[in-house]
Amino acid sequence: MRSRPRVISSPRAARVLAAFTALALVAVPLYGCGAGNTERQGSNTGFDNIKKSAGSYLNASGKELARGKTEGASVYSVNVSLDTAGNQINGNEKVLYTNRTPGVLSDVVFRVYAQDAGTGAARRPTIVTETRVNGQAATASLASSVLDVNVKDGIKPGGQAEVSFAFSEPVPPAGQDDTEGLFAYGEGTFDLGYFLPTVVTCTNGTWDRRPLADWGDANNFDCSYYSVSLTAPSGYVVAATGVEQALKGTTHVFVAGPVRDFEVQASNQYKSAERQVGSTTVTSYYYGKDSKAGALALDTGCQALALYSQHFGAYPYTRFNICEAPIEPDGAEYTGQIQMASYTYDDSYDTDDLKGTVAHEVSHQWWALGVGSDAIGNPWLDESLASYSESLYWRWVEGATSAKEALDEIADNYTSARDDDVPDAPVEQAVSSFVSEDQYTALVYGKGVFFFDELFKLLGSSAFDKALSDYYAKNVFLNATSETLLSALRASSNGSSRVDELYQRWIKQVNGDEDMAAP
Ligand SMILES: [Zn+2]
């Protein structure tokens, strides 16, 4: 995600979460007679076929990078219909989940972002029904954005469970109560960010049940395989993560994998333009009136995709989409697809800001989506690096002076917040631990970025590239922590203690006023 530059943003009203939005209607089916053996029955042929066809999303480099990294990845089979008159998604989802933890699991837990995505009196809750595990009725609860499905007899290590349910998600209007708009409708467009209930990570037997903060990204998922059949009314152009395998009437079948999430944009305003970059088709979807900005976004996206591939390692997929959208932040990232705020496509909007946002969101294909990291608990790891990658885009395209100008704007996220008495703090914190969105922006999109600039100065351009490309090659399709990144940086600095000193000084300690005076 990239926030609006702080200097031009209006103060954002605190989101008021109406109490009832925490409640959800969950049908709890009764167990039938003879329940008790929930061992998974039958073959995995359907899921195996999805994995095979989903693999067509990978290009040759992606196939190489994915080797040995996706054993036991979840497989999703989804049918959904988009009701544009009722502003609602109705569907059913079936997931083959494999227990890759060392202990028995008694639940499978999903993030249901739709339940958190809108507020206000008109908000209707998400409804989950017909929950089944291995074909038998199962109990489930949906609280805040966490759906907990009980597996009566547990899933042994290495064992599998097929979890299925039906869901109905009202799509809120964009801009309602100053929400982010990642999952919202407006301008004839449906932003379906995180619309699929998605299995959360399970670390040492503990599911990620953390509530989401009022800002920041929700992405903390393992890579999975998807087949998604989506029916939209005629006249709607549908852009999605993955490859469109079939189109029957107005039913689009997309397959994608291994991917960290699955996103859809559907609009009756979209025109599109596309271009080939190596083995990747890049498509820009834009409103008819915004063809100039749509073309600029395509140029920039192609350029950024090629440059990051050259410096950090190959982009792994055959498609990449850039989609104009009625979102609140400048941009937001998903696997193989980004949302670009429609206000950034206005003729009056600064074209360098538009290009910077595209570059930032494209770099998330390496940092957040390629190499996974915990965007909820440790956002600096992807966001500070994506913001630094934005400055690298300018360095590679226009030279050191443009990179310095981009970094000056990034520094302003910190200094302007300090001018308003937003307190300095450690950069490495959970999104919910920052005292305000302004502090989160100042530190994660401001001060933390300069840790990477100090490293760039320490290592020099080629060792810096080598550290990041090693980090990417080893961890793409997997999940990284701060330590994973630090070990790659140490290896490229011949084990210099400076890497850890800089990490302590810029990320863990509170020296911002001194260090940001002359970064
Ligand atoms: Zn970002």
Residues recorded for the chain = 519
* CA 406 to centroid of ligand 1, rounded, Å: 15
* CA 444 to centroid of ligand 1, rounded, Å: 10
The letter for the amino acid at 124 is: R
Q: How many CB atoms lie within 10 A of CB 137?
A: 17
* CA 333 to centroid of ligand 1, rounded, Å: 7
* CA 144 to centroid of ligand 1, rounded, Å: 24
How far apart (Å, rounded) are the C-alpha atoms in residues 145 and 200? 11
Helix (H, G, I), strand (E, B) or coil at 336: coil
How far apart (Å, rounded) are the C-alpha atoms in residues 341 and 338? 10
- Radius of gyration of the CA atoms of the chain, in A: 22
* CA 362 to centroid of ligand 1, rounded, Å: 9
Would you give per-residue pLDDT tens digits along the chain (519 residues)?
987 654 433 322 222 223 333 344 444 333 333 333 455 655 788 999 999 999 999 999 999 999 999 999 999 999 999 999 999 999 999 999 999 999 999 999 999 999 988 766 567 889 999 999 999 999 999 998 999 999 999 999 999 999 999 999 999 999 886 678 999 999 999 999 999 999 999 998 999 999 998 888 888 999 999 999 999 999 999 999 999 999 999 999 999 999 999 999 999 999 999 999 999 999 999 999 999 999 999 999 999 999 999 999 999 999 999 999 999 999 999 999 999 999 999 999 999 999 999 999 999 999 999 999 999 999 999 999 999 999 999 999 999 999 999 999 999 999 999 999 999 999 999 999 999 999 999 999 999 999 999 999 999 999 999 999 999 999 999 999 999 999 999 999 987 899 999 999 999 999 999 999 976
Encode 229-263: b = buried (16+ Cβ within 10 Å), e = exposed. bbbbeeebbbbbbbbebeeeeeebbbbbbbbbbbb
CA 176, 179, 184, 189 torsion: positive or negative?
Answer: positive
According to DSSP, residue 420 is labeled T
Q: How many CB atoms lie within 10 A of CB 121?
A: 8
Alpha carbon 482 to its chain's center: 18
* CA 229 to centroid of ligand 1, rounded, Å: 29
* CA 327 to centroid of ligand 1, rounded, Å: 14
Token pair for 37: 């053996």
Alpha carbon 94 to its chain's center: 21
* CA 463 to centroid of ligand 1, rounded, Å: 24
CA 344, 346, 347, 349 torsion: positive or negative?
Answer: negative
How far apart (Å, rounded) are the C-alpha atoms in residues 323 and 320? 10
Q: SS3 sequence, 25-45? A: EECCCCCCCCCCCCCCCCCCH
Angle at 428 between CA 422 and CA 430, to 5 degrees: 85
Alpha helices, H only, 253-399: 291-312, 351-363, 380-398
